[in-house]
Structure 1
């Protein structure tokens, strides 16, 4: 007997406490779809921006937060396959990508899932319309036919697999967009949240010669050191001080690769200032559309290359899972996560992330 409803923590107003409620589940599972009992969700910075109202658009509420999640299949629609064309089975532990339509310009002409014009993020699904529950802060999630599904390798923990669904795949896609790191390169990571710390680790594991993490607070910079940073720079120094510190740590030459995982208004100017000749600047964390002037003369004079990198697709997700299989013992990944709480603790976990008291909140809907 399939469950008819799922308990969920619903955001009804930005900054307001989450409301515990029961949401309907489909009476029948569509071909290509799956119903999953969630094992855990890890909260992303985007979840916090949506909760606070920093990221908002008309008609998005009410909604269920959470787009990094992993769970166990409890029911399948006819012919439901994984991303590699293999039949799925109940009881398997899976993760999945945001749904894509498969027939728009982005999907079929660009062959780029992140450019899908109908990309189905959880935060585009209202909690008062079918299929209601496709996100993480829920006991069950309905995985739509257009979402590509992957069986999670046994060596990958639930928390790692959940984080692979956004944080890890976003970072690895950005590294690929940069052309992959040159061995011995000097790398700056702007931002010391989960993305920045994971990027710090990835840079170290990829053979970077010098890794510098820029951010705050001090506790997160200390964590960045544990994940491979040779140097850290506190944003309290201000833009000029940050650039001066990076130049000092790179013998005055600047950084070969600069990854924006912070999104502050000063990020672009600082990146241009600290970039080495022919350096590459990869913009990942800047999501607003504000005009932040850059010195194009310095961009030209240094022959800089800019890359934008948007989230990630199912290929990036697969690479992220493989990354944890290969490098699971190389970094203290578990230190990124808070102690798991149930749905009733999700609101407090969000507020703790907002206050930067924790890096990565973990919600286990199986807990009380």
Structure 2
């Protein structure tokens, strides 16, 4: 099978011929139909986050179950599934607290098998990013990395729910639990930010302010639910948000992953507000906020990992929202590409030319 492998970081992906193992106990073999290009992979490809050498990248995918290993009862061959990085053991302290996305034993499900799941033609082992490796024609994953979905959901749209959509919606609905009528600002109108905009619309927030530097992304934000847009290349975005909200937003969401915009998200909220960081800040970066604000204004700064998801519960509901017309996914797909065009897809993302490119296998 073909897979897109990152050999060095920073570096580009190389299309390689790989061999995939048969499913062992608790494993599922999937024929990948579609995989989304998520900006999170770029943090590793560009060297901002550490990553192993010779790794199939990608983590946002959907497909059809081809085979299952011993002890697998949740899915069967022919089932349509979405994969998710939020594997969960079900028995650790975080899982028992209802936070499976913070599972303390997830790594054992990503790398616990006795033999490599992927090998190169010469027999060398190849690893799979986040235990998934979605940029490949087949996936061999732990059964707790998949959710079974209804057959009438288009798999190219379902792939988006595997990460970006769930992260953005979940940050609003689960991490911040935004009440109806709250004012919301979203910084960054890529796939995750636009999903946060949609989450704010779905829960009934108002106003919903989208901030970006690219006019086309701001236009799309209005299409997906923003009531106001701020072009940060033309005005001070913090001042603009305070003017629109008459004193600061109730909730802000940073969906870029930069210290400067994380700090802006703090300054955009008003007294009693909550700033949520969704973007992957570089590992060695720092965020500085005025100490006096924390107590005197009772403002909050928090992170959101994968939208605080419980993906086997959340993703089927997001699919229902899409099929009911309340969640818009068609508008978010800018291009459908072949696996051989994956580097071009990421180049277009970096240039701000696309929202989501989807690989069709």
Q: TM-score range by the shorter chain?
A: 0.7 to 0.9
Aligned to 2:225: 228
State the partner residue of 1:96. 83
2:135 to 121, 134, 137: 137
Equivalent residue, structure 2, for 1:3: none
Larger strand fraction of residues:
2
| Counterparts in 2 of 1:107 and 1:201: CA distance versus 1, 3 Å | closer
Distance 1:81 1:105, change over 3 A: same
Q: Quote the residue 1:80 is aligned against.
A: 72
Gapped regions of structure 1 (runs ≥ 5) = 1-5, 83-87
State the secondary structure of the residue aligned to 2:32.
Answer: strand
User: Residue 177 of structure 1 contacts residue 309 of structure 1 at CA under 8 Å; is this kept in 2?
Assistant: no
Deviation at residue 43 of structure 1 after TM alignment = 1.2
Deviations 1:47-73 (A, max 9, x none): 12222222224xx11111110001111
- For 1:165 and 1:228, the matched residues in 2 are separated by 21
1:341–1:362 CA contact under 8 A, matched in 2: yes
Aligned equivalents of 1:148 and 1:70: distance in 2?
11
Candidates 266, 270, 274, aligned match of 1:276: 270
Cα distance in 2 for partners of 1:232, 1:137 equals 34
Distance 2:16 2:175 in 1: 44
Tell me the residue number matched to 2:39.
Answer: 45
CA offset at residue 110 of structure 1?
A: 4.8
1:157-176 residue pairs with structure 2 within 5 A?
157-176=154-173
Residues 148 and 314 in structure 1, CA contact (< 8 A), matched pair in contact too: no
Q: How does 1:78-227 map to 2 (within 5 A)?
A: 78-82=70-74, 88-98=75-85, 100=87, 102=89, 105-107=92-94, 110=97, 112-120=99-107, 128-129=124-125, 134-145=132-143, 147-227=144-224
Q: Is the 8 A contact 1:178 1:280 kept in 2?
A: no
Say which of 297, 300, 309 aligns to 2:304.
Answer: 309
| Segment drifting more, 336-345 vs 169-178 | 169-178
How far residue 105 of structure 1 moved from its aligned partner, in angstroms, is 4.7
Counterpart of 1:348 in structure 2 is 344
Structure 1 SS opposite 2:306: coil
- Equivalent of 1:246 in 236, 241, 247: 241
- Are 2:17 and 1:22 aligned? yes
CA–CA distance in 2 between the matches of 1:78 and 1:141? 17
Residue 213 of structure 1 and its aligned partner are, at CA, apart by 0.7
Residue 355 of structure 2 is aligned to residue 359 of structure 1:
yes
Question: Unaligned regions of 5+ residues in structure 2, if any?
Answer: none
CA contact (8 A) 2:208 2:227 kept: yes
Aligned length: 348
**Secondary structure at 1:266 match in 2:** helix
Q: Answer whether contact 2:248 2:269 (CA < 8 A) is retained.
A: yes
- Which residue of 1 is the match for residue 332 of structure 2? 336
Distance in 1 of aligned mates of 2:309 and 2:71: 19
- Give the ranges of 4+ consecutive aligned residues of structure 1 lying more than 4 Å apart after TM superposition: 103-111, 120-128, 130-133
SS in 1 for 2:53: coil
Once structures 1 and 2 are overlaid, which stretch shifts more, 198-207 or 318-327? 318-327
What is the TM-score when the length of structure 2 is the normalising length? 0.87
Deviation at 1:275, TM superposition (A): 1.1
Q: 1:285-311 CA distances to partner (integer Å, 9 max, x unpaired)?
A: 143342221012123222112222111
8 Å contact from structure 2 (residues 2, 16) kept in 1: yes
Partner of 2:260: 266
RMSD after superposition: 2.7
Q: 1:312 to 1:207 in 2, by over 3 A?
A: closer
- Deviation sequence 1:20-41 (CA, Å, 0-9, x none): 2221211x32122111110000
Change in Cα spacing, 1:102 to 1:171, as seen in structure 2 (3 Å) is same
